[in-house]
Amino acid sequence: MPTAAPESNITVIDSEEGLLPLLDNIASLAIDPPSLYINLEGIALGRHGCISILTLYIAPTKETYLIDIHVLKEAAFSTTTASGTSLKTILESPTIPKVVFDIRNDSDALFNLFQVSVDGIKDIQVMGCVTRRGENRFNADIVECIEKESPVSFAKHPNSFEKKRTWRFAKEDGQRLFAPEKGGRFEIFNERPMKPELIQYCQLDVAMLPGLYGVYNAKLGHRYWQDCVVEETTRRVKLSQSAGYDAHSRSKIFGWDDGYKCKQIDSWTDGVIMETGTGGYIYSENDQKVIVPTLGEFRNNGFIDDKPGGVGGKSYNAYGDSGSDYTF
């Protein structure tokens, strides 16, 4: 049976019977905006390690589920509802969006340990990378993104300081349990019952993801960058499933600087012109001819500005509520 954790709205699932109602619930969730936010924890997460916990946050209900992979093993992915829904079919569905922060090691572990080939992934690290301006060529980690760009860091949220302090303390409490450099042991992820500090650690990161998704999604602006995120995320998944993938490679830290983004824009516009054969025109969603934008015509590299008066369409928060309009 599922176990209610000491923290509110957190449920630990360690039985097939407890998993079935969750699967039925997921099958009926809205997909736009995404409802599912996922993170994996384990020991040496990847093909040479193990998955201990799959944390699933459901944004519309603000509920968190910790699916105990260490206990359930293959049954976590093969348990199927009467309608044919399993955790495997959900993770592999291209039509059910799943939001994660850096899919690479999670995908490596799921594919090689449980033969789950993820699809429908929205990688927040990729979204942040392509929307972040400047010459920093390094991918930001989740701590940096949450502290600098999560909505709870904005002054308009009256409890933002308290929320961030709670999040930081919970992170530190959890790290003291499993991080060797802080006196912890990774093996604690597989000890049962789970310690309350570890449960809260698993929950808080994934619960912060909807806010980050809303921030980055509102900045993407031009269709090019939306396509770019999809392509880069697909590339990450394929790379993580390849025989030569190294989960601990230092090359993973590199992101995109502005120079690389500019080259990508030029490559994309040239490709569109070549494919359409229309001499610089493409068709909009309303089947009207529009000129393909060149590099110089991408204001702010095609991103919506942080301030009013930027470019793009509409700004949306994490739950899809429209914010201020942006016009070209």
Selection from 8-22, 130-144, 222-236, 290-304 with the highest mean pLDDT: 8-22
Residue 207 identity (one-letter amino acid): A
Q: Which helix (H) or strand (E) holds 37?
A: strand 36-43
DSSP 217: H
Q: What is the pLDDT of residue 301?
A: 42
Q: What share of the chain is helix, strand, coil (3-state, %, to 5)?
A: 50, 15, 35
208 vs 273: CA distance, rounded Å: 40
In this prediction, residue 259 has a pLDDT band, given cuts at 50, 70 and 90, of: low
Name residue, tokens 């293959």: 74
Pick the closest to residue 302 from 266, 273, 270, 276 (CA basis).
266
Buried b (16+ CB within 10 A) or exposed e, 203-220: bbbbbbbbbbbbbbbbbb
Q: Summarize pLDDT for 297-309 with one digit per residue, the tens.
A: 444 444 444 443 3
Kindly list the domain boundaries of the chain, sorted by start residue.
3-253, 258-307
Q: How far is CA 16 from CA 68, 271, 312, in A?
A: 10, 49, 45
Residue 42 identity (one-letter amino acid): G
Of residues 158 and 163, the one with the higher pLDDT is: 163
CB neighbour class for 159 (10 Å; exposed up to 12, middle 13-18, buried from 19)? exposed
Pick the closest to residue 37 from 50, 55, 19 (CA basis).
55
147 vs 63: CA distance, rounded Å: 22
Sign for the CA dihedral angle at 251, 257, 261, 267 comes to negative
DSSP 251: G
Residue 141 tokens read as: 């980690």
Mean pLDDT of the chain: 79
Residue 241 tokens read as: 């499933």
User: What residues pair up with 56 in beta bridges, in sequence order?
Assistant: 38, 65
DSSP 96: S
- The highest-level CATH class for domain 3-253 is alpha beta
Q: Summarize pLDDT for 80-138 with one digit per residue, the tens.
A: 999 999 999 999 999 999 999 999 999 999 999 999 999 999 999 999 988 876 555 56
